[in-house]
Chain A
């Protein structure tokens, strides 16, 4: 399966639903990187990564997420995490990244935290 990414929008927030793994294997993290770079190049500034179905992440995946967070913050944007599973959550925890990148369990709350004007998900 590798990594599958689907993208939807809610107001001015772009939501990426990640499914599978984001590791160095099979170019998974590169795939994530290219999607994120394209979105930012196309003007997306508020990104919500839905990690509910992300089963595994390694340092390559973490690096992509952190790199994107740093890049967005420098451009006045923001990135948040939604519902990471226990295995993925532990990686963020041991690196103390949750003290910097906000994490939410509820999508509505996550969207509201961006201060977005519209919050109804589009199919």
Chain B
């Protein structure tokens, strides 16, 4: 547990990032993003001297190099956070194991990118880290095995984004990437709904989340802190519209003065195989079935 971050101690001098060399396009990308916001950059070739540097100077952001194993980055993060509990550290890696994402979340990494990743998404995450001058981790891993991870997530958009990126970092060769992307997309829609409607984007509120990897299915459970809702009464959402009139919810939203919206649940429903709500409507499970492995021909 770290002490709360106070904006009163936010640095007033030029922000500085510490970059461990990844090489090529990634270094260039990071340099461009940081320089465009006027950040100064200190570079190191590897993790070797980082701890000494960090003890001397409070870097605002650290980005690890792709060549280092995640286990080493996580160990480094643990040591850095004992001295600098609010450090924002983004792990980039070409060398990872299935459990690394859980370790990175447990230790409070800001984000995690395992190869291959989209440079534009790394750039967005770096910008998000730069925009959070006073940062406290909003993700707490309660328990974690490769098959079952339970955690809580604070009700704010940056925490949702960070969590989604951690999921993208999971590499499971038995799950086709396209299927994984659909599940993550559906999960994000449901998570944002939970944070917005259940938690009112109140950063003192948290959403409970579990991810379960069964042999032939992936399941995500999301429980929000709200009072729930009834799907039957959801006339302001596309999921509650008549199949013959997909846009009827738009008129209801207009009448009620609600912002344009209402496609989240319907979109999630279409992207996974099952979307099951509890009676109160504040807890939902998404299920995606995976094709069974082909049986050997005899």
Q: Which A residues are within 8 Å of any B CB, using their own CB?
A: 1, 21, 24-25, 33, 55, 58-60, 62-64, 66-67, 70, 91, 94-97, 100
- Nearest chain A residue, comparing its CB with the CB of B161: A25
Pairwise interchain contact A62-B250, C-beta atoms closer than 8 A: no
13 residue pairs A–B, Cβ–Cβ below 8 Å: A24-B192, A25-B161, A33-B259, A58-B192, A59-B263, A63-B261, A67-B253, A94-B270, A94-B271, A95-B246, A95-B263, A95-B266, A100-B246
Pairwise interchain contact A59-B270, C-beta atoms closer than 8 A: no
Residues of A within 8 A of B189 (CB): 58-59
Residues of B within 8 A of A95 (CB): 238, 246, 263, 266-267, 270
Pairwise interchain contact A62-B161, C-beta atoms closer than 8 A: no
For the residues of A in contact with B, the DSSP-based class is helix
For the residues of B in contact with A, the DSSP-based class is helix
Q: Which B residues are within 8 Å of any A CB, using their own CB?
A: 120, 123-124, 157, 161, 185, 188-189, 192, 238, 246-247, 250-251, 253, 259-264, 266-267, 270-271
Q: How long is the Cα–Cα vector from A70 to B253 in the complex, in angstroms?
A: 12
- Nearest chain A residue, comparing its CB with the CB of B124: A1
Name the contact of A94 in the complex, choosing from B247, B253, B261, B267 (C-beta under 8 A).
B267
Pairwise interchain contact B157-A70, C-beta atoms closer than 8 A: no
Pairwise interchain contact A25-B157, C-beta atoms closer than 8 A: yes
Residues of A within 8 A of B270 (CB): 94-95
Pairwise interchain contact B266-A67, C-beta atoms closer than 8 A: no
Pairwise interchain contact A70-B250, C-beta atoms closer than 8 A: yes
Residues of A within 8 A of B259 (CB): 33
Residues of B within 8 A of A100 (CB): 246-247
Q: How long is the Cα–Cα vector from A62 to B157 in the complex, in angstroms?
A: 18
Residues of A within 8 A of B271 (CB): 94
